[in-house]
Structure 1
Amino acid sequence: MKFEFLGTADTGGIPLHLCSCAVCEKARLEKTTNRSTSAFLELEDGSVILFDAGCDTLMDRFNTTPIRAVFLTHFHADHALGLIRLRKSAQKVICYTPNDTEGFGDLLVHKNNIEYRILAPFEKVCVGGVEIVATPLLHSKATHGFVLFTCNKRVAYLTDCGGMSEESLLFLKAQKLDYLFLDAAYTPSFDSDKHLNWESAHTLIERIAPKEGYLIHASCHTLLGVLKKGVNLTYPYIEQGFSIEV
């Protein structure tokens, strides 16, 4: 099975509109893009499980592909926007979410063909032979990360994370993860309790101790900071299209 990122950037994406920084200009020159952080797991039968739905072209990318479920980390636009079109699917789409009664836009009012199911902290769901556990994260909205258990690998997808409780930290550490993908949206010079930076993310990864760790949800300004400071990151930022076999 393949776990692939549809995007690993923050809300604005890369290149950012009208931004002339070195990161954005390089992306334009190389004709590459990196959109909001989201991923999918492709199962053996070709169907997929989505992790976040911020990309509004989901209906195009997976137009003839069965979607077993969507696991939504939280109801911010850059993670939920694609549901606006996806809810018009000809078949029911199950979407697992944290307990958030506000949602995003009118998604919870006009559900159409999406069936929302609230996941309690540390609740486990099995989809297509894959166990997925909701792991609470600290953010400005109710937010879950997700830990995936396949036959071969243990993977944690933790985006939009300003920190986590000791309970979540101990749970993650106990799983002996193969791969950990962790939010590091900011530079250490920017103080925020909504997202980690590359230093605080590094500290968390060291405490969780996965076999491999990666950083996600960066803006062009964050990556420019890495570039200008010549930072040698132990755990690298990944880009759109990054994939692993699980």
Structure 2
Amino acid sequence: MKFEFLGTADTGGIPLHLCSCEVCEEARLNQTSNRSTSAFLELDDGSVILLDAGCDSLMDRFNTTTIRAVFLTHFHADHVLGLIRLRKSAQKIICYTPDDTEGFGDLLVHKNNIEYRIVAPFETVEIAGVKIVAVPLLHSKVTHGFVLFTCKKRVAYLTDCGGMSEESLLFLKEQHLDYLFLDAAYTPSFDSDKHLNWESAHALIERINPEYGYLIHASCHTLLGLKKRGVSLTYPYIEQGFSLEV
């Protein structure tokens, strides 16, 4: 099975519209882009499980691919925009979400062919032999991270995280994770309880103690700060297209 990121950036993506910073100009020069954080697990039969749906080109990317399910971390725009088109699918798509009745826009009103199912904290959903567990995270909206258990690996996808309860931390530590992908949206100089920065994310990864840890959900400003300070990170930021065999 393949686990791949459709994007690892924040809402604005990289390059950011009309931004002339070094990070954005380098992305334009190299003709690369990094969209909002989302990922997918490709199963052995070619079908996929989506982790978040912020990429507005999901309908195009998976136009002839069976989507077994979508697991939404939360209902912020950069994690659900792809559902606006995807809900018009000719086949029903099941979407697992935290218990958030506000949702986003009219997605919960005009569901079309999306069937929303609330997944409770620490609840397990099994699809095609893959177990997926919802892990509560602290953010400005009700938010879950997800841990995926395949027959070979244990992968944690924890985006949009300002922190977590001791219960969530203990659960993650007990899983002996192979891979941990963790939100580090900010520089340490920016104080926020909505997202981690690369220092607070580093400390959390150390406590969870996975085999490998990676940072996600960065903006160009975060990466520029990293460049200017010449910081060498133990756990690196990854880019769109990063993939692993799991």
Q: TM-score range by the shorter chain?
A: over 0.9
Residue 91 of structure 1 and its aligned partner are, at CA, apart by 0.2
Q: Find the counterpart in structure 1 of residue 194 from structure 2.
A: 194
The separation in 1 between residues aligned to 2:203 and 2:128, in whole angstroms, is 34
Q: Find the counterpart in structure 2 of residue 222 from structure 1.
A: 222
The separation in 2 between residues aligned to 1:11 and 1:127, in whole angstroms, is 29
Count how many residue pairs are aligned between Structure 1 and Structure 2: 246
* 1:172 and 2:152 are equivalent in the alignment: no
Provide the TM-score with structure 2 as the length reference: 1.00
Residue 156 of structure 1 and its aligned partner are, at CA, apart by 0.1
SS state of the match for residue 148, structure 2? strand
Q: Which amino acid aligns with 2:83?
A: L
Residue 243 of structure 1 and its aligned partner are, at CA, apart by 0.2
Q: Find the counterpart in structure 2 of residue 106 from structure 1.
A: 106
Residue 101 of structure 1 and its aligned partner are, at CA, apart by 0.2
The separation in 2 between residues aligned to 1:166 and 1:75, in whole angstroms, is 24
Q: Find the counterpart in structure 1 of residue 147 from structure 2.
A: 147
Aligned-residue sequence identity (percent) comes to: 87
The separation in 2 between residues aligned to 1:189 and 1:4, in whole angstroms, is 30
Q: Find the counterpart in structure 1 of residue 137 from structure 2.
A: 137
Residue 61 of structure 1 and its aligned partner are, at CA, apart by 0.1
SS state of the match for residue 100, structure 1? coil
SS state of the match for residue 236, structure 1? coil
The separation in 2 between residues aligned to 1:128 and 1:2, in whole angstroms, is 14
SS state of the match for residue 44, structure 1? coil
SS state of the match for residue 133, structure 1? strand
SS state of the match for residue 6, structure 1? strand
Q: Find the counterpart in structure 1 of residue 57 from structure 2.
A: 57
The separation in 2 between residues aligned to 1:118 and 1:132, in whole angstroms, is 14
The separation in 1 between residues aligned to 2:61 and 2:48, in whole angstroms, is 11
Q: Find the counterpart in structure 2 of residue 46 from structure 1.
A: 46
Residues 35-82 of structure 1 deviation map (CA, whole Å, 9 limit, x = unaligned): 000000000000000000001100000000000000000000000000
Residues 168-194 of structure 1 deviation map (CA, whole Å, 9 limit, x = unaligned): 000000000000000000000000000
Q: Which amino acid aligns with 2:82?
A: G
Q: Find the counterpart in structure 2 of residue 67 from structure 1.
A: 67
Q: Which amino acid aligns with 1:189?
A: S
Q: Find the counterpart in structure 2 of residue 9 from structure 1.
A: 9
The separation in 1 between residues aligned to 2:105 and 2:88, in whole angstroms, is 15
* 1:122 and 2:127 are equivalent in the alignment: no
Residues 115-148 of structure 1 deviation map (CA, whole Å, 9 limit, x = unaligned): 0000100000001110000000000000000000
Q: Find the counterpart in structure 2 of residue 232 from structure 1.
A: 232
Q: Find the counterpart in structure 1 of residue 35 from structure 2.
A: 35
Q: Find the counterpart in structure 1 of residue 89 from structure 2.
A: 89
Residue 226 of structure 1 and its aligned partner are, at CA, apart by 0.4
Q: Which amino acid aligns with 1:36?
A: S
Residues 79-116 of structure 1 deviation map (CA, whole Å, 9 limit, x = unaligned): 00000000000000000000000000000000000000
Q: Which amino acid aligns with 2:176?
A: K
Q: Find the counterpart in structure 2 of residue 210 from structure 1.
A: 210
Provide the TM-score with structure 1 as the length reference: 1.00
Residues 193-221 of structure 1 deviation map (CA, whole Å, 9 limit, x = unaligned): 00000000000000000000000000000
SS state of the match for residue 140, structure 2? coil
Q: Find the counterpart in structure 2 of residue 242 from structure 1.
A: 242
SS state of the match for residue 19, structure 2? coil
The separation in 2 between residues aligned to 1:231 and 1:99, in whole angstroms, is 39
For structure 2, list consecutive stretches of 5 or more residues without a partner in the other structure: none
Aligned-pair Cα RMSD in Å: 0.2
